[in-house]
Amino acid sequence: NPTPSPSQDEQSQIISRFQQYLQINTTQPSPDYQTSTQFILSQADSLSLESRVIEFVKGKPVILLKWPGSDPSLPSVLLNSHTDVVSFEHSKWIHPPLGGYVDQRGDIFGRGSQDMKCVGMQYLEAIRRLKDSGFRPKRSLYLSFVPDEEIGGNDGAKKLAYSDVFKDMNVEIVLDEGLPSLNENYRLFYAEKAPWWLVIKSKGAPGHGAKLYDNSAMENLFKSIESIRRFRASQFDLLKSGLKSEGEVISVNMAFLKAGTPSPTPSEAEAGFDIRVPPTADIESLEKRIAEEWAPASRNMTFEFKQKVIPHDDLGRPLVTATDSSNSWWILMEEAIKKANGKIEKPEIFSGATDARYFRQLGLPAIGFSPMANTPYLLHDHNEVHL
């Protein structure tokens, strides 16, 4: 049964709790997990949820909350959110990134306001309303607040997913983050692209900056950059023409460039790229392209991956959650959004990486959903706002 809309007073309390969470500095690379843990635990207490804190890795708390179901024999539901946020350039924000400032329009400013402290708080607020209405779930509901998603999740969601604790939880479906939409439709994600963080390096003899010669480190690197940029443009064209969606193209962005001495010309140069690979992409041909065109040994080049996630399961099948009637959770999710008068886009592949991949790796269905319609995409941007 629908619960009544929150009163003015309740609304301002909801916003104030969200502000408190935004004000905790969980910015990578040195997030204050102690304070965020205390905050989440205090929320859990106020909701009479069971809680435990597990440090699979010291200083990296996974907070697990539980609302026990009336039938413990049934598989459970997990709502996952990460507690860390990416860094910011303070001076580029119109309101302080750790302020949780609410402007006259009601926009809430803060790093993490979209990615994804809003979602963690929405889980908690939804539970608050359900509890107030007297609802009790049949299945147990778990909430995990995990560290380090923004740096790969190895010490957070990955550890949880592969733990005995997780086995005992008997989870059947996971919800994790999604993306906002500019229109009135909510977006649902059934898969995600895999991050490949590539560094290519070139070497060459240094020399006099006034001389034209082949095989310098800078020239070798630039040939690669040109080739990578042509590939980027071809993928971008597919997107612009509408032949492929954002989740279906391989994206490449140059992330850094480390090269150069005024004189002599440098003997080493390197560049880093953030590549995102859809689960349906031809991985072998991309690997070949990197080895043969982007960092060929014939041009004195080497490469390494700082991160290389293969978006496949152990049997080599694309890591995707079913969106048809074979997955009753997907159908249920769509129905729940419609019941709340929400409209839905067709299912999409998330363009970035989320912790959902660790749960999909286990064979579990996972749905990405950050309920933000009519909202610009400001994840990782200056002036991240929640409307």
Catalytic residues: 84, 149
Interaction of residue 116 with Zn ion, rule CB under 5 A: yes
Token code pair at residue 169: 């939880």
Distance CA 139, CA 147 (A): 26
Neighbouring residues of 212: CB distance < 8 A, sequence distance ≥ 6: none
Instruction: Say whether residue 61 binds ligand MET (CB under 6 A).
Output: no
Provide the sign of the torsion angle of the four alpha carbons 90, 95, 96, 102, taken in this order: negative
Residue 139 φ/ψ, nearest 5 degrees: -90, 155
Quick check: 353 binds ligand MET (CB under 6 A)?
yes
- 277 or 301: whose CB is closer to ligand MET? 277
DSSP H helices, 24-103, are 33-46
Q: How far is the CB of 84 from Zn ion (least distance, A)?
A: 9
Closer residue to ligand MET, CB minimum distance, 149 or 270: 149
- Closest CB to ligand MET among 44 and 356? 356
SS3 string, 342-373, reads CEECCCEEECCCCCHHHHHHCCCCEEECCCCC
Return d(Cα 91, Cα 88) in angstroms, integer. Answer: 9
Q: Which helix (H) or strand (E) holds 300?
A: none
User: Site size for ligand MET, by CB under 6 A?
Assistant: 7
Tokens, residue 157: 């969601």
Beta carbons of 164 and 245 less than 8 angstroms apart: no
Task: Tell me how far the alpha carbon of residue 349 is from its chain's centroid.
Answer: 12
- Tell whether residue 195 is a contact of ligand MET (CB under 6 A): yes
The one segment of 60-68, 149-157, 182-190, 335-343 that binds ligand MET by CB under 6 A: 149-157
Based on the shown chain and the rule CB under 6 A, indicate whether residue 152 belongs to the binding site for ligand MET: yes
Judged by CB under 5 A, the number of residues near Zn ion is: 3
Measured from each CB, the residue nearest to ligand MET is 352
Residues 302-321 that bind ligand MET (CB under 6 A): 307
Q: Among residues 177 and 248, whose Cβ is nearest to Zn ion?
A: 177
Q: At closest approach, how far in Å is the CB of 360 from Zn ion?
A: 16
CB closer to Zn ion out of 41 and 353? 353
* Segment interacting with Zn ion, rule: CB under 5 A, options 87-95, 115-123, 158-166, 279-287: 115-123
Angle at 163 between CA 69 and CA 34, to 5 degrees: 85
Site string for Zn ion, 148-177 (x = CB under 5 A): -----------------------------x
116 binds, among Zn ion, ligand MET, none (CB under 5 to 8 A by kind): Zn ion
Q: How far apart are CA 173 and CA 74, in angstroms?
A: 12
Which span sits near ligand MET by CB under 6 A: 13-21, 39-47, 144-152, 206-214?
144-152
For residues 352 and 82, give the distance between their C-alpha atoms in angstroms, rounded to a whole number. 14
Beta bridge partners of 385: 109
User: Residues interacting with ligand MET, by CB under 6 A?
Assistant: 149-150, 152, 195, 307, 352-353
User: Residues interacting with Zn ion, by CB under 5 A?
Assistant: 115-116, 177
